[in-house]
A and B are shown apart, each in its own frame.
Chain A
Amino acid sequence: EIVMTQSPLILSASPGERVTLSCRASQSVSLNLAWLQLKPGQAPRLLIYRASTRASGISDRFSGSGFGTEFTLTISSLQSEDVAVYYCQQYNNRPPATFGQGTKVEIK
């Protein structure tokens, strides 16, 4: 089973700031990496798949990059509505698909 490790676990930034979240896989997952956004009381939302492809309806403030074992999610200008927990997920070596432990993004 592939272990996904995210960093940092908590990220606090000011509105308008550029933020970068990291995700590392224990072995190569090629480009088969997704990013999800979870907010309390809301349905989870797929942001990015195939490492860098934005899902339908997702703001271009969100961008993904990486290949193999190292991936990043960047929010170009942090907004209050971006407060959430972000998870990376690999769907390359499966079953099972596996998730990172999440990065909580807060507003300063």
Chain B
Amino acid sequence: QLQLQESGPGLVKPSESLSLICTVSGGSISTSGKYWGWVRQSPGKGLEWFGSIYFGGSTYYNPSMKSRVTISVDTSKNQFSLQLNSVTDADTAVYYCARAPQVWDLFDSWGLGTLVTVSS
């Protein structure tokens, strides 16, 4: 059974970068036709899609965040990651990683999520 697990620091200082890793188990991140993405849930903005990546490296980003976001994949570790630069308190949220089996932003398997707080 496919499982996704987010990991990373729970506290990040304003203006710094937030880095999260999603570890995939029970399946290969290199499976043809599967995309891997990040979504967050914040009190102020509800659910927001950040972006998605294909194991070959193709990326799809939310235009409103594109200047601050990088999503990358490490097939050797069966992981993909999110980096969000220049964070503010508005970036405090629960961050989820997820798999999209058909199109890059329709997710059928999700991680439990990890809370990231931006505070000095």
A: residues with CB less than 8 A from B are: 1, 34, 36, 38, 41-46, 49, 55-56, 87, 89, 91, 94-102
Contact = CB atoms under 8 A, between A and B. Distances in A.
Contacts of B62: 95-96
B58 to A, nearest CB: 13
Among A44, A55, A94, A97, the most chain B Cβ lie within 10 Å of the Cβ of A97
A44 B96 contact: yes
Contact of A55 (B98, B103, B108): B108
Contact of A95 (B61, B98, B109, B112): B61
Size class of the contact patch on chain B? 20 to 34
B105 interface: yes
B64 A101 contact: no
A35 B106 CA distance: 10
Interface in B66-105: 96, 98, 103, 105
Contacts of A87: 46-47
Interface of B: 4, 41, 46-49, 51, 60-64, 96, 98, 103, 105-113
A85 B89 CA distance: 24
Contact of A44 (B60, B61, B103, B110): B110
Nearest to B112: A43
Nearest to B111: A43
B2 to A, nearest CB: 11
Contacts of A91: 103, 105-106
B51 to A, nearest CB: 8
B111 to A, nearest CB: 6
